[in-house]
Structure 1
Amino acid sequence: MDHLYQHFRREEKHFIDQVLQWKESVITQYSPKLTDFLDPREQEIVFSVIGDHSEVKVSFQGGVLDTERKRALLYPDYFQPENEDFKLTLFEVKYASKFITLQHRQVLGALMSLGIKRSKFGDIRFSNETVQFVCAREISDYLITNFLEVGRAKVTLKEKELNEFSPQAEVYQEIVTTVSSLRLDVIGSAVYNISRQKIQPLITNGLVKVNWKTVESVSFECREGDTLSVRGYGRSKVTAIEGKTKKDRFRIVFHVWK
């Protein structure tokens, strides 16, 4: 088992064990296993752990092709998955859009305030005045009854077909720079153009996430492919670490989403 763990970070061991339990359940019960919504890093781990296993396969679905958060379906090799097996519901939020502007954090906060785990719903998308989100079907009736306000705005939900999910418009800036180390505070300082003295308390106060998980250690070592988010500063991704310069500094390429 150690040979499997060595490919991942130490803090990911618990999730890896969960994936192995899911796989074992499929093998022993000869039936599919549907997970809650997983972030992209968790999806990557699931795919790596399941791999090309001859007895168990895995597929992901989050509404449409370009969704970020998706449910995973692990299933026996003879099973043919359909979209219906992922049990997804798409809602459009109806509100007085001529007078009110809703923000992502407001919608997310309103959903969380209902006592729903983040893993029960997927992407939240905005397109002009249209607000949509996808959720696990098992909570859809509860949401229709209880999701009535976002901030001070009165809202209602209208169910839509999954193929009506608004496309995601992603605009990012690519930046190439060099850093003295791959520590989180060093990388964060370079990415967001703020001093290490300023980003260090953000990290220790739990305002920084790496791969959608809060990291409170300034010395946490970043890797290629890591997604960073700093509250109030946005999200970025370390897309490449291109070795060292003659001055022994790491040359990195990262994307910063606008």
Structure 2
Amino acid sequence: MEEILQHFREDEQPFVIQAKEWIADVALRYTPKLTAFLDPRQIAIITSLVGHNGDVKIQTSGGFIEAERQRVLLYPDYFEPEKNDFELVVYELRYPAKFLQLKHGDVLGALMATGLDRGKFGDIRIDGEKIQFVIQKAFASFIMVNLESIHKAKVHLMEVTEEAHYLLPQDQWTEQYDTVSSLRLDTVIASVYKISRQKASQLIQAGKVKVNHQQQEQGTMELEEQDLISIRGFGRSMIRSIEGRTKKDKIRIVFGKLERKR
């Protein structure tokens, strides 16, 4: 295990240990394992771990097309996964749109205020006045009963059963290439957003930077593939892949940058 853990950041190691246990359990018991909703970096970790185990296969689903947060299904080779095996429910949020404009944070805050943790929910999508979100099927009835209002406005939920009625992504990722001197968080931010490293460090120290949805105040943090960077006032980016080094010992990276549809 120590040999495996050394390839991951210290803050990721508890998740790596848990994921290894899931994989071992599927191989031993020969039964599928369905996870909670995971972020892209966690999915990348599990995928890399499964790659070393020929007895276990992996599929993911987040309900929506191009979902960011997805559930992972680990299963033995005899098992043939179907859509229903991911146990997902998509709800549309009905609210007085004439009097209230809801943002992603408003909806997420209301969902979390019911007492459920983030792993129970997938993506939240907003297109004009339409709002939809994905939830684990086991908690669908709970949220139907307990989500009664947002900002004192009455709301109710309607299940969306037809995939043709699911909201499509309203954000567009553009893929770009760059070279950096290191994979330090401050160095990558400076390169991706075309700002000075000093400015990048100030943003980090001011608490404006999150990596994989967790506030990060250490500019020395080393980034990995599928790390999602969120910067207040600048948007989001993701390390898609690390492509090795140039002749001048620079590190080649491919990153995605988020552009919101207007």
Q: TM-score, normalised by structure 2?
A: 0.84
Report the AA paired with residue 231 of structure 2.
V
- Residue 141 of structure 1: CA displacement? 1.1
Q: 1:16 to 1:249 in 2, by over 3 A?
A: closer
Report the AA paired with residue 257 of structure 1.
L
Q: 1:79 to 1:37 in 2, by over 3 A?
A: same
Q: Which residue of 1 aligns with 2:108?
A: 108
Retained in 1: the 8 A contact 2:40–2:226?
Answer: no
Q: Which moved more, 1:200-209 or 1:92-101?
A: 200-209
Q: 1:110 to 1:245 in 2, by over 3 A?
A: farther
Rounded to whole Å, the distance in 2 between the matches of 1:30 and 1:210 is 35
Q: Which residue of 2 aligns with 1:222?
A: 223
Q: 1:195 to 1:54 in 2, by over 3 A?
A: closer
- Residue 93 of structure 1: CA displacement? 0.4
Report the AA paired with residue 258 of structure 2.
W
Q: TM-score, normalised by structure 1?
A: 0.85
Retained in 2: the 8 A contact 1:63–1:162?
Answer: no
Retained in 1: the 8 A contact 2:92–2:158?
Answer: yes
- Residue 43 of structure 1: CA displacement? 0.9
The CA deviation string for residues 87-113 of structure 1, in whole angstroms up to 9 with x for no partner, is 111000001223322111111111112
DSSP-derived class of the 1:101 partner:
coil
Q: Which residue of 1 aligns with 2:233?
A: 232
Q: Which moved more, 1:150-159 or 1:103-112?
A: 150-159
The CA deviation string for residues 81-140 of structure 1, in whole angstroms up to 9 with x for no partner, is 222221111000001223322111111111112221111100101122210000011111
DSSP-derived class of the 1:13 partner:
helix
DSSP-derived class of the 1:47 partner:
helix
Retained in 2: the 8 A contact 1:90–1:162?
Answer: no
Consecutive unaligned residues in structure 1, runs of 5 or more: none
- Residue 185 of structure 1: CA displacement? 1.9
- Residue 10 of structure 1: CA displacement? 3.3
Consecutive unaligned residues in structure 2, runs of 5 or more: none
User: 1:1-258 alignment to 2 at 5 Å?
Assistant: 1-51=1-51, 53-161=53-161, 163=163, 164-173=165-174, 181-204=182-205, 206-223=207-224, 225-239=226-240, 243=245, 254-258=255-259
Q: Please report the RMSD computed on the Cα atoms of aligned residues, expressed in angstroms.
A: 2.7
DSSP-derived class of the 2:12 partner:
helix
Retained in 2: the 8 A contact 1:229–1:236?
Answer: yes
